[in-house]
Amino acid sequence: MRGIIGKKIGMSQVFEPNGDMLPVTVIEAGPCQIVQVKTPEKDGYSAVQLGFEKKPEKRVNKPLLGHFKAAKTEPYRVLSEIRDFNEEGTKAGDMVTVDIFKVGEEVKITGVTKGKGFQGVVKRHNFQGGPKTHGQSDRYRSPGSIGASAYPSRVIKGLKMAGRMGGKRHTVRGLSIVKIDAENNLLFIKGAVPGARNSYVTIRRHEQ
pLDDT band at 4 (very low <50, low <70, confident <90, very high): very high
Per-residue pLDDT of 49-77, as tens digits, reads 999 999 999 999 999 999 999 999 999 99
Q: Is the pLDDT of residue 208 over 60?
A: no
Q: Is the pLDDT of residue 147 over 60?
A: yes
Please give the mean pLDDT across all residues of the chain: 91
Domains and CATH numbers, the chain: 3-120+168-205 (2.40.30.10), 121-165 (no CATH)
Contact residues for 25 (Cβ-Cβ < 8 A; gap 6+): 8, 10, 11, 12, 188, 189, 191, 192, 193
Least confident of 74-78, 138-142, 176-180, 187-191: 138-142
CB 190 within 8 A of CB 174: no
The dihedral through the CA atoms of 163, 169, 173, 175 has a sign that is positive
Per-residue pLDDT of 11-58, as tens digits, reads 999 998 899 999 999 999 989 999 999 988 888 988 999 999 999 999
What is the per-residue DSSP string for the chain?
--EEEEEEEEEEEEE-TTS-EEEEEEEEE--EEEEEEE-HHHHSS-EEEEEEEE--GGGS-HHHHHHHHHHT---EEEEEEEES---TT--TT-EE-GGG--TT-EEEEEEEPPP-EEE-HHHHH------SSTT-SS-TT-----S-BTTB-SPPTT---SEEES--EEEEEEEEEEEEETTTTEEEEESPPPS-TT-EEEEEETT-
What is the structure's pLDDT at 85?
A: 66
What is the structure's pLDDT at 153?
A: 86
pTM of structure = 0.84
CB 39 within 8 A of CB 50: no
Q: Which residue in 105, 103, 107 sits closest to 182, CA to CA?
A: 103
Q: Is the pLDDT of residue 172 over 80?
A: yes
Contact residues for 197 (Cβ-Cβ < 8 A; gap 6+): 8, 9, 10
